[in-house]
Amino acid sequence: MADIKYYMRRIAGINLDHLKEAVNAVHERSGKGRVSTFFDMLGCMFRYGAGYYDYLIFDFAHLTAAQRATFVTRGVSRKMNVYLNDPAYTHIFDNKDEFNKLFARFIRRGWLVLAESSEEDVRRFVQGKKEVFVKILDGECSHGCERIHMEDWPDFDKLYEHIRSGGFGLLEDVVDQHPAVEALHPGSVNCLRVITLLDDDGAPHCLYVVQKMGMGDSFVDCNCMFTPVDVETGKILYPAHSGNTPLGVVYEEQPDSHVKLPGYQLPFVKEAVDMCLEAATAVPQIRYVGWDVAISKTGPEFIEGNTYCAHDFWQLPPHTPTKTGMLPVVCKYAKGFKR
């Protein structure tokens, strides 16, 4: 009954213009008829929990029923979060001050919780620095995040008023990024996304690693571009995919820096994964986490942890040559989970 109510809400909330765009995009890419595509999309929603964007981005038009059943779709992702993560504990990851305090040993940069800091504390923190980050406590995907260039604020009183009036809760140093990571897109913090899962016995496993990177004038890597990384070698495996996944755009090189991506060697990847596996056991009630890890000149450090991970990172066509999704891997470790 709960699933029926969920799908009825999904149907009621469909944006018809976006649905039409998705049907047209599938038609143009596959050559299949619009009407048959629409009804196949509808069937996939009920059978696999796949929205029309899932159908488009995972190229369901060219997959068999058996292949489709292996994908973590939007509906499956929702069920995973309900099954694996206790909502009573998600606040630890949702609130940046709580996260930084619990995982302080994995954070190399300096930071202040503004509610616990005086004006003089803030003055001392920013003194002599070229730039800092301010963040709202419960923001995600860079929302409520601002990179402050100190040369733009010669008057500290005005800067302090800006920070206080802006609703910011956290003040942080900018990561001293490793040159090999900085080279991907200078000017943005280019994080690894490391996805971990605690198995039924509480042991941590790494499911997947991607390298995110900024584009254009972005100072963060959110929704820009990403590509899978080999955990053992630390090398980028494939061309990068656009963060706007429905576009289906793939990049052999980063378009701003022109770094050739497949085979590019990244530093401290194994150390980053080991750090995430250690951290994954800190809150056993949260079994499924997507960690954003910056790579500094001296090693990995956390930016944040996400209890609701973007399911498209794992399984896009350019990165899944076997046309097999990640659901079998999830079920290997969470044996009681049912799609």
Residue 128: give its domain's CATH number: 3.30.1490
Q: Give the pLDDT band (50/70/90) at residue 16.
A: confident
CATH of the domain at 306: 3.30.470
pLDDT-based confidence at residue 138 (cuts at 50, 70, 90): confident
Residue 77 lies in a domain: no
Asked if 288 and 142 sit in the same domain, the reply is no
What is the C-alpha separation between 79 and 3, in angstroms, rounded? 10
- State yes or no: pLDDT of 277 exceeds 80: yes
**Is 202 found in the same domain as 271?**
yes
Asked whether residue 223 is domain-assigned, the answer is yes
Residue 84 has pLDDT above 50, yes or no: yes
**Is residue 5 classed exposed, middle or buried when 0-12, 13-18 and 19+ CB atoms within 10 A define those classes?**
exposed
Domain total in the chain: 3
Kindly state whether residues 147 and 292 are assigned to the same domain: no
**b/e sequence 146-181, b meaning 16+ C-beta within 10 Å:** eebeeeebeeeeebbeebeeeebbbbbbbbebbebb
pLDDT at 221 over 80: no
Distance CA(298)–CA(177), nearest Å, equals: 9
Among the listed residues 188, 143, 181, 192, the one whose alpha carbon sits nearest the alpha carbon of residue 313: 192
Shared domain check, 216 and 165: no
Inform me whether the pLDDT recorded for 198 exceeds 70.
Answer: yes
Other residues' Cβ atoms within 10 Å of the Cβ of residue 134: 21
Looking at the DSSP assignment, which residues form a beta bridge with residue 192? 211, 293
Kindly report the average pLDDT of the chain as a whole number: 92
Give, for 165, the enclosing helix (H) or strand (E): helix 156-165
pLDDT over 50 (residue 72): yes
**Same domain, yes or no, for 9 and 33?**
yes
- For range 230-243, the mean pLDDT: 96
Q: 118-132, pLDDT tens digit by residue?
A: 999 999 999 999 999
Is residue 278 scored above 80 in pLDDT? yes
| Least confident segment among 112-121, 143-152, 208-217 | 143-152
Question: 253 and 293, same structural domain?
Answer: yes
Position 214 pLDDT exceeds 60: yes
pLDDT at 86: 98
Helices within 290-326 (DSSP H only): none
Flag whether 79 is in a domain: no
CA distance 305 to 311: 15
| 249 plus 155 within the same structural domain | no
Residue 75 maps to a domain: no
In a domain, 159, yes or no: yes
* DSSP H/E element including 262: none
With respect to residue 81, please indicate whether it lies within any of the assigned structural domains. no
Where is the domain boundary, 129, 152, 173? 173
Q: Taking residues 316-330, what's their average pLDDT? A: 96
By the 8 A CB rule, do 311 and 76 touch?
Answer: yes
Q: Which domain holds residue 28?
A: 2-69
Domain boundary among 148, 173, 198: 173
* 143 and 181 both lie in a single domain: no
Last residue of a domain, one of 173, 193, 211: 173
**What average pLDDT does the segment 42-52 reach?**
94
Give 8's pLDDT tier (boundaries 50, 70, 90). low
Q: Is the pLDDT of residue 14 over 50?
A: yes
Q: What confidence tens digit (pLDDT) does each residue in 168-193 have?
A: 999 999 999 999 999 999 988 999 99
Same domain (yes/no): 95, 242: yes
What integer is the mean pLDDT of 34-59? 95
In 3D space, the residue among 96, 89, 141 whose CA is nearest the CA of residue 114 turns out to be 96
Q: State mean pLDDT over 259-288.
A: 98
Give the pLDDT band (50/70/90) at residue 140: low
State the helix-helix crossing angle for 119-126 and 156-165, rounded to 10 degrees: 120
pLDDT attached to residue 1: 44
